[in-house]
Structure 1
């Protein structure tokens, strides 16, 4: 359930994060930073963002900071961009329990729900404690080779194992809580959180999960057997994928980080000890967001 952010959590130090060298984001960041400083807020700008904005907008005397510095010192981080920018910030800041609010400068923006034109009006609500908080689960994933950890990461949206660049199907075994479930021949498998259920999983005919659902969706990618359907398991399940045959295979974390896999590798997943807190403006509704983004009940063009 969404909870009021509350007057006891009024932010006094705010970080601004943006990833792309975009004139629109540079303009929005300058405007937002000026507004926050006028309200007496200390502003910290993520160091790569500061470098990019500086190149675009001239010397603004930013106070740059690493993600580690942001995690250690800020009350709220505001992400300017699209969902990809938010995903990166979430993975980097989850361990520090920094709440995130998003200004949508991308396309769909399922996680960045503040419209650019409403940015300053929404900031008044944020600074006055009228935003609501919502906790989103994350996934821990580790890649094992010959019984040893090869790589590990966390994901807010999904962990995807797929066939790679060659285009041949892969084969792997699925285990849940140590129990063999099936041997799947497919292009891959999406392991999705409720947050990720409106991302890649949705395009693969996976279910939409409300953020309050304590579950993980397992969605096959183009399975050879049409009886292989998406499965929803509890959020405490231990999931393991063991590759039995693959010419080329990879695992992706939130579509941003990739590890190459070989036959015999295993990918183990479970709910992370870390979660991310999203801050939404007053009146936010998950279903209203879906109606808008997915154009539910939209009138056909030309009528």
Structure 2
């Protein structure tokens, strides 16, 4: 993580979670602050539908990354996940304002909006990179589904209440065959999300590692494993499955598999650039969000 002391932000993009009055209020407040500070504001086209008569330029999410020096996301971690998948291709830095629940990624509190955003725009921030995952579903030699994820790729039974049979290969090496409700393939960013609820380990964001967390495996010996992020993960869907397992990326279904399909998951070449106010501390975030105890005597 690197601290910067100068800034070149001129064009600022805004993305907000739809369906929230609090998000709209914060977006309006943020827009007024940016306007008064002399920045050129561009609003994502879908976000603009809840900001009537805003008077600013509009652009699609992907176009926003091409036009802006910084994109500010107002919402929860889910909002930032969606923005990250679109913006990683342009390398545009992303800053999160929390209007959600836990807020592992969106770490600016609305009560400190102007002060904290102002500090970042003045060049007082910390920058870190997070890698994403690419997922492709093969049926023979044909790609029949694909997606990308900042948190996790999940193989699961969908609405069916049936176990899935599959084989796991890492870098071409057979690891195991398994009957379970599926498997969570998570980045360090996703280690504090769905994978955590499945019993997976918490990983520091700077780790170049992927964790595979089995979901309710039909064996007591199956445990999460952590592998090199450069690995290729291949999951061969069993030919005898009586259900069609789903592949979800960051909670959104991207493909439905058939028996004998192969899911391939790799680290994505592009990365998302996250900005944090100075003083951001991963372990402090864990203590705050997960309710860990403070030091003795505090």
TM-score by length of 2: 0.96
Asked if 1:141 is matched to 2:140, the reply is no
Q: CA RMSD in A?
A: 1.2
C-alpha distance in structure 1 between counterparts of 2:100 and 2:22, whole Å = 11
Task: Determine if contact 1:165/1:248 at 8 Å carries over to the other structure.
Answer: no
Among 280, 289, 294, the alignment partner of 2:290 is 294
Among 254, 276, 283, the alignment partner of 1:280 is 276
Task: Return structure 1 stretches of 4+ with deviation > 4 angstroms.
Answer: none
DSSP 3-state at the match of 1:28: helix
Asked if 1:212 is matched to 2:202, the reply is no
Structure 2 partner of 1:39:
37
How far apart are residue 226 of structure 1 and its match? 1.2
Task: Determine if contact 1:12/1:75 at 8 Å carries over to the other structure.
Answer: yes
TM-score by length of 1: 0.94
How far apart are residue 131 of structure 1 and its match? 0.8
DSSP 3-state at the match of 2:283: helix
Among 87, 95, 114, the alignment partner of 1:93 is 87
Among 115, 119, 122, the alignment partner of 1:121 is 115
Structure 1 partner of 2:178:
184
Among 76, 83, 86, the alignment partner of 1:82 is 76
Structure 1 partner of 2:100:
106
How far apart are residue 219 of structure 1 and its match? 0.4
C-alpha distance in structure 2 between counterparts of 1:130 and 1:298, whole Å = 27
**What are the within-5 Å matches in structure 2 for residues 192-203 of structure 1?**
192-203=186-197
Unpaired stretches in structure 1, ≥5 consecutive residues: none
Task: Determine if contact 1:19/1:48 at 8 Å carries over to the other structure.
Answer: no
* Superposed CA offset, 1:78-132 (max 9, x none): 0000011000000011100011110000000111000111111101101110011
Structure 2 partner of 1:222:
216
C-alpha distance in structure 1 between counterparts of 2:57 and 2:77, whole Å = 25
Structure 2 partner of 1:253:
249
C-alpha distance in structure 2 between counterparts of 1:44 and 1:172, whole Å = 46
Asked if 1:68 is matched to 2:62, the reply is yes
Asked if 1:10 is matched to 2:5, the reply is no
DSSP 3-state at the match of 1:95: coil
Structure 2 partner of 1:268:
264
Asked if 1:20 is matched to 2:14, the reply is no
C-alpha distance in structure 1 between counterparts of 2:262 and 2:163, whole Å = 17
How far apart are residue 184 of structure 1 and its match? 0.8
